[in-house]
Structure 1
Amino acid sequence: MEDLILKHVDLEIPTNELSHETKGLSSKHLVVRRGEPFKITLFFQGRLFNTDRDSLVFRAVLGGLYVEFPATLSKPLSYSRWNAEIEPGISTHSHTVTVNIFASSFSSVGLYDLRLHVLAQPWQHSYRIGEFVLLCNPWCPADSVYFQNEELREEYVKNDVGLLYMGTSKNVVPRPWEFSQYEEGILEICLDLLNISPQHRSNWQMDYLRRSDPVYLSRVVCAMINCEDDRGILKGNWSGVFRNGVNPSEWTGSDDILKLWAESKFKPVHYGQCWVFAAVMCTVMRVLGIPCRVVTNFNSAHDTNGNLVIEEYYDEMGKKTTHDQRQHLEFPRVG
């Protein structure tokens, strides 16, 4: 009996980039969003693939963790788990098989290795298909970062240029900023940021598992923007003396800062101030698929010698709550 051999795999990158709103984020990797199926096409040689007797089992590997799932002929009933569907309409005997892979809307963000096990009795073969980057999905109602308004998604996720506001409450000055999430290499640098964080280095398994939570991701990214406690990106300087570095007011975009950090093997970039920290964090969050924008505070207690006491509380819908409702507003602990 003739063997069934996988000859070639097409990751259908242009098609997937279009349907996943990821065009331009990377020239090195397939980039997709969780909660939305992505398509790959398998080309076999030898005998024809037979849907009645041959089986395909996929494995998506993130670091040392993995999830395994078979390809079936029916559409999955739930997108809360990883699934694969052999695209309907093909012949039961074919050299070409197109598969729709469903990444759970609760999956962890990161760079995955996709593998395939082909069971074609009496033979079995395993293949490494390639890599893909999985991001959060503001277009998916099942994802916790979902935004219903397309105009807001354009602004908070896809827009790569914007204005930062500086000055005082009586003299607000806008300045342009390039968030640059589509610049070559920026996505990969953002993934490096997650992998060199203290959380990943102290317990990589727990870190990978917790990357499904955008709150956790936000806190890791926030800590990594400042270099004081880890191998973070920026060194703060408010002294007015910027020897051996760049005056924060000279930065015009996030890409120069992120690339300089990566090229120096993750040594702190000199220098940043609050608005630079915020702008770089906005870039990283948008790359990861978490909607984000920069907000300027002109009258904070920190700068006006206020009492620094939290005196008002708001729920996730922006509605003011009473003091007694605080226990319902706790965030998950990190670390």
Structure 2
Amino acid sequence: MDPIVPVGTELYIKENAAECHTDMYDILDSEAAFPILRRGCTFYFAIRFNREYIPTQDVVRVRFAIGPKPNVVKGTRVILPINPRKKRSIEDPNRWSISLNRVDGDTIAVQVRVSPHAPVGIWKCSLQTNIAGEKGRRNDYEIPDEIYIIFNPWNSHDGVYMEKEEEIKEYVLNEVGKIWCGTFKKPTGKHWVFGQFDDIVLPSAMLLLEKSGLPHSERGNPVMIARALSAIVNSVDDDGLVEGRWDGNYEDGTSPFAWTGSHAIMDQFLQSGGNPVKYGQCWVFSGATVTVCRTLGIPCRSTTNYVSAHDTNRSMTVDKFFDMFGNKIEESEEVDCKDSCWNFHVWNDVWMARPDLPPGYGGWQIIDATPQETSDQVYRCGPASIAAVQKGSKKFI
């Protein structure tokens, strides 16, 4: 007898979205719909074969892969054999698992649990079949649908877990808000539509992740993802999402003051094939960062500081230098300082565990996508633990 051959699959996109807290994504209602799953969730799908499935004879393996060179050791490749004797998954909740849910002639339904530590991004799924005890007669079948896997703040094993439901509603699900600008004497709230569930936003965020160059094996770590996003939301170094401009000349683009939300920015970026959008300043970078983080499942908020200072020489003061005649000394070989003050600055806080730091330094972390200074030769900032900043613990910032 020949190995059983898959002839079709059903991924139950909307049903699984309801179970995974992803049913709010607009793209699920379009013809271009694809599965959107959160880490740590279980989902169902059905496989139809060319003949009746015989549990004692037919070997079926489900394989998931992400990136150009999937690797089991690096966590970018997963192979799950279907065991007909195991009806329910009782394995470690931190690992991928699969169980046979139903057999109906030539069709089977399986239940898969995604690891809460799986790399975030676009996964491919394929099937491998054979006859038990035989080698060399393997049949391979690739499921055409792409599977999007994102962070899960509802799952206690995920690094972005938030215990309070009202905080998830505010920092993950809320699509509108205010970004505070103005001055400390007259603060003004700028209404911003984050629109993280609009149909083009999640694909745009995935394109940004690809452009960031972050290895797929590191995309399960929210710390590394947040750091990559702080770099790729600005266009310096890597032709990211938004190009900054502060000289008032915006004729060849859009003034930073004209943007009222992230959707138009993300749409222009995606439609252009990933070219930076002109132009942005700190509140634009911050609003776009909220959108990208929330669509990927990372809790995020904008934070504004008034009478903001930029300390470029790490003196913890804002320094100006004058010669003996009282003339200001601009930057030179003797004076390497570009310290400055301005009315306000806007950055972001993201929520995540920090297993790489001592206890007490998890929770809100600072990232800043406005390109001001380099970190490891790239314009990016964070994530820096707010608790460490408040304590002045430079070692853990």
- The bucket for the TM-score relative to the shorter chain is 0.7 to 0.9
Residue type at the aligned position of 2:166: E
Q: Which has the larger Rg?
A: 2
Q: 1:315 aligns with which of 337, 348, 361?
A: 361
The question of whether the paired residues in 2 share the 8 Å contact of 1:70 and 1:84 is answered with: yes
Deviates more, 1:2-11 or 1:293-302: 2-11
Task: Give the 3 Å change call, closer, same or farther, for CA 21–322 of structure 1 in structure 2.
Answer: closer
Asked whether 1:125 is paired with 2:125, we answer no
Task: Give the 3 Å change call, closer, same or farther, for CA 306–196 of structure 1 in structure 2.
Answer: closer
Q: For each residue in 1:217-250, what CA deviation from the matched residue of structure 2 results, as whole angstroms up to 9, or x when unmatched? A: 1111110111122211112122223221211111
Q: 2:38 aligns with which of 33, 37, 49?
A: 33
Deviation at 1:24, TM superposition (A): 4.1
1:273 & 1:165 partners in 2: Cα distance?
13
For 1:233, the equivalent position in structure 2 comes to 241
Deviates more, 1:273-282 or 1:130-139: 130-139
For 2:5, the equivalent position in structure 1 comes to 5
Give secondary structure in 2 for the equivalent of 1:15.
helix
Residue type at the aligned position of 2:204: I
Deviation at 1:295, TM superposition (A): 1.3
Deviation at 1:261, TM superposition (A): 1.8
TM-score normalised per structure 2: 0.73
2:273 & 2:203 partners in 1: Cα distance?
14
For 2:94, the equivalent position in structure 1 comes to 80
For 2:184, the equivalent position in structure 1 comes to 169
Percent sequence identity is 30
Matched residue count: 312
1:319 & 1:160 partners in 2: Cα distance?
27
Deviation at 1:281, TM superposition (A): 0.8
The question of whether the paired residues in 1 share the 8 Å contact of 2:3 and 2:130 is answered with: no
The question of whether the paired residues in 2 share the 8 Å contact of 1:81 and 1:103 is answered with: yes
2:391 & 2:302 partners in 1: Cα distance?
28
For 2:302, the equivalent position in structure 1 comes to 294
2:391 & 2:239 partners in 1: Cα distance?
40
2:387 & 2:4 partners in 1: Cα distance?
61
2:155 & 2:263 partners in 1: Cα distance?
28
The question of whether the paired residues in 2 share the 8 Å contact of 1:301 and 1:307 is answered with: no
Task: Give the 3 Å change call, closer, same or farther, for CA 218–319 of structure 1 in structure 2.
Answer: closer
Give secondary structure in 2 for the equivalent of 1:297.
strand
Q: What are the residue-to-residue correspondences of 1:209-224 with 2, within 5 Å?
A: 209-224=217-232
2:259 & 2:112 partners in 1: Cα distance?
41
Q: 2:169 aligns with which of 154, 163, 185?
A: 154
Give secondary structure in 2 for the equivalent of 1:293.
strand
Deviation at 1:181, TM superposition (A): 1.4
2:93 & 2:130 partners in 1: Cα distance?
25
The question of whether the paired residues in 1 share the 8 Å contact of 2:179 and 2:189 is answered with: yes
The question of whether the paired residues in 1 share the 8 Å contact of 2:116 and 2:157 is answered with: yes
Deviation at 1:16, TM superposition (A): 0.7
The question of whether the paired residues in 2 share the 8 Å contact of 1:176 and 1:252 is answered with: yes
For 1:56, the equivalent position in structure 2 comes to 60
The question of whether the paired residues in 2 share the 8 Å contact of 1:56 and 1:117 is answered with: yes
Name structure 2 gaps, 5 residues minimum.
71-76, 318-359, 364-385
Residue type at the aligned position of 2:7: K
Give secondary structure in 2 for the equivalent of 1:301.
strand
2:94 & 2:57 partners in 1: Cα distance?
28
The question of whether the paired residues in 2 share the 8 Å contact of 1:71 and 1:83 is answered with: no
For 1:145, the equivalent position in structure 2 comes to 160
Asked whether 1:248 is paired with 2:256, we answer yes
The question of whether the paired residues in 2 share the 8 Å contact of 1:57 and 1:71 is answered with: yes
1:34 & 1:281 partners in 2: Cα distance?
21
1:281 & 1:60 partners in 2: Cα distance?
29
2:141 & 2:108 partners in 1: Cα distance?
15
2:251 & 2:315 partners in 1: Cα distance?
35
1:167 & 1:45 partners in 2: Cα distance?
66
Please tell me the root mean square deviation across aligned C-alpha atoms, in Å. Answer: 2.4
Residue type at the aligned position of 2:100: I
Residue type at the aligned position of 1:115: S
For 1:23, the equivalent position in structure 2 comes to 23
TM-score normalised per structure 1: 0.85
For 1:333, the equivalent position in structure 2 comes to none
The question of whether the paired residues in 1 share the 8 Å contact of 2:171 and 2:294 is answered with: yes
Give secondary structure in 1 for the equivalent of 2:304.
coil
1:50 & 1:298 partners in 2: Cα distance?
69
Q: For each residue in 1:3-42, what CA deviation from the matched residue of structure 2 results, as whole angstroms up to 9, or x when unmatched? A: 6332321101111110111124334321101111111111
Q: For each residue in 1:229-288, what CA deviation from the matched residue of structure 2 results, as whole angstroms up to 9, or x when unmatched? A: 221111212222322121111101111111212222322211101000000011011111
Deviation at 1:307, TM superposition (A): 5.4
The question of whether the paired residues in 2 share the 8 Å contact of 1:302 and 1:308 is answered with: no
